[in-house]
Structures are given as structure tokens and as C-alpha cells.
Amino acid sequence: MTARQTKYTGLLIHTLVWAVVIFMPLFRTSPDRPMMTGPEYLRFLLVPLSFMAVFYVNYFVLIDRFLVRRRVGVFIFANFILISVAILAVHVMFRYVLPSDFPHPPRIRPFMDRLLFVGRNASMYILVAGASVAVRMTAGWYRAESARKDLEHRRSEAELQNLRQQLNPHFLFNTLNNIYSLIQIDPVKAQSSVHDLSHLLRYVLYGGNRDMVPLQDEVNFLQEYIALMRIRLPRHVEVSVRMPSAVSGQMIAPLLFISLVENAFKHGVSSDQPSFVHISLDVEGNRVICRIANSFFPKAKASDRSGSGIGLANLSRRLEMIYPGKYQFRYGQEGNEYRSELIIDLG
């Protein structure tokens, strides 16, 4: 709910509550209790109007000026003056401006009776002032909480956008490294790979900036990327890929699996030793399951400048922001293999 909507909702609630209080006597009629006459209704209105005065003087003036600034003593004293003036004003109006049509003979009340009468009236006004404090503080807390959530949402959106922007150059850096290696082996294939890379980059730049993409588009992107990686692989590298041929309906955040596939080719392929990369992506109902296993040939830190650590850290953070509590992500070395598993509940 926006701040403007919250403001109008609060105004509507205030209007409805006071309307019920003010107009209630007009609907409380019975044979032994006929509808109020005009002068009677005006006398009745004096009390709720004085309540409104106490309520809104607190609501708009005293709470902000004294209570919020922790000047509690001054706040209590100001309310004492305000309530005393309200009680005195109502008494004067009842006695001299709108006297009752049925005057009672004057009588002298005992002092304690008058004190109890004034105390009962004062307690009602104190309750009204207390209600004003409760409503004002609750509304202030709600506004502060809404502002905090809005700020948190904006911060999360900015962080997510920053993660996406990190992913684009990271993906490009790794892919260009592969094409650079291919140029030395087969320049013709390298030219074709540059064309294929332009198609992949189009998806990264445009699809990657969307909140959600069709799962089928993500599958197609992974298949094209794997095909590009396969071009330069030596014969002793075994690559197996299993992905659904067609996916209908499901939507997913873009570029969640590419970091896992990149790492598999980067650390799972040796130039002179038997190697393997096994990739599977399955769809089971609303769950997407990606499992990758590869032989493990970790690059030396001094020679690996591709920023491979960015990918997994980026992925973990994005998953926590987009699918909190709806994903499972495991990865690590198991013997001479490196395995990763990502399960996302799209429901």
C-alpha cells in the first residue's frame, strides 16, 4: 500500500468512527424513547465534539510537540489544561447556551458527589486522549514500518541489479577466454563461435535484465552455451547432457544455472588427462532440478584470473533474494569429482 493510499484509508476510518458516534442517537428509537428533537440533539453533540477536540489537539499538536520529544511531564500538564477547558466549555454551553427544555429545580450537591461527577467526566476525556496517543503512535509505527520495508525492497532491488551486472561481464570474460583458446586451434570454428556468442550475449543482456523468463528459454540458452564449449574440447573429454526437449508454462529467474555449467567446464576439463562433465536438468512438477558432476582439476590461484569465485557467491545471493526458503543448493568436492545440485521450487 502506498503512502497516499495509507493516508486516505486512515482518513476514511476516522470519518466512519466519528460518524457512528455522532449519528448513533438518531437510530436508537423505540416507543418509549422517541427520536431526539433538534435542541436535544445539539446538546448531545456537545460531548462528542468536545471529545473530538481533545482527540485531535493531541493527535496533531501535543503528541508531536511533547510526547515524541519525550517531554512527558509537559504533555501531561498540557492535557490537564486541555481537558479542564473542554469540561468547563461543555458545562457553560449546557447551562447558558443550550439549557435543557426540562429545567430541574436547583439543588446543592454534596462536595463528594460533585467531585465524583467531575472525576467521571475527566476519566472519559483521559480515555479519549489515551486513544489519540494509541492511534497516533500506531499510525506512526505503521508508516515507519512501511518506509522501512520500502527502503529494504529498494535496497534489495538495487543489490539484485548489481548482481546481474556482475554476471554479464563475468559470463563474457569466461566465454571470450574459451574463444581465444579456440582461435589457435581452429580459426574457422572460432569465427562461427563468435557468431554463436553474439546470440548468447543477446539473451544475457536482454533476458538477464527481466525478473522472470520462460524456463524453455533458459534451457535453450544452456544448450547453446554447452554446444559452444564442446567445440574446443579434446577427444579425451566426455560430455553428457540431459535436458527436457520441451517445457511448457514454467517461469524462472534468468541465468541461475550458467555459473554451475561454467565452473564444470573450467575446472572439470584437463588438456592431457581423461575428463568428464555430466549435466542434467529435470523438471518434476513445479520443481527444477539441476545436477552437475565433473572431474576436478582446480586451477592455480595465480593463473586463474577469470573470477570463478564470483559465480557461486553471486548465485547463492541471488537464490536467497529471489527464492528464499524455496531452494536447495549444494556443491563441493567428493573425492576426485566436483558435484553441484540446485533444486528450485517454482510453485
The pLDDT profile of the chain, 347 residues, written as one tens digit per residue, is 555 666 677 788 888 888 887 887 776 655 565 566 677 778 888 889 999 999 999 999 999 899 888 899 999 999 999 999 999 998 888 888 777 655 555 555 566 666 777 788 889 999 999 999 998 888 777 777 776 776 666 666 655 565 555 555 556 666 677 677 777 777 777 777 777 778 787 887 777 778 899 999 999 999 988 988 887 788 899 999 999 988 878 899 988 898 899 889 888 988 889 999 999 999 998 999 999 999 998 766 544 544 445 578 888 888 988 899 999 999 999 988 999 999 999 98
Same domain, 200 and 315: yes
Residue where one domain finishes, among candidates 149, 180, 210: 149
Residue where one domain finishes, among candidates 111, 133, 149: 149
Residue type, 138: T
Same domain, 141 and 189: no
Residue where one domain finishes, among candidates 149, 167, 187: 149
Quote the CA–CA distance of 246 and 216 in Å, as a whole number.
Answer: 7
Q: Supply the CATH number for residue 295's domain.
A: 3.30.565.10
| pTM flag (> 0.75) | no
Same domain, 328 and 275: yes
Quote the CA–CA distance of 143 and 141 in Å, as a whole number.
Answer: 5
Same domain, 272 and 322: yes
Same domain, 94 and 198: no
Same domain, 121 and 52: yes
Same domain, 141 and 247: no
Same domain, 291 and 314: yes
Same domain, 273 and 291: yes
- Containing structural domain, residue 270: 157-345
Same domain, 215 and 135: no
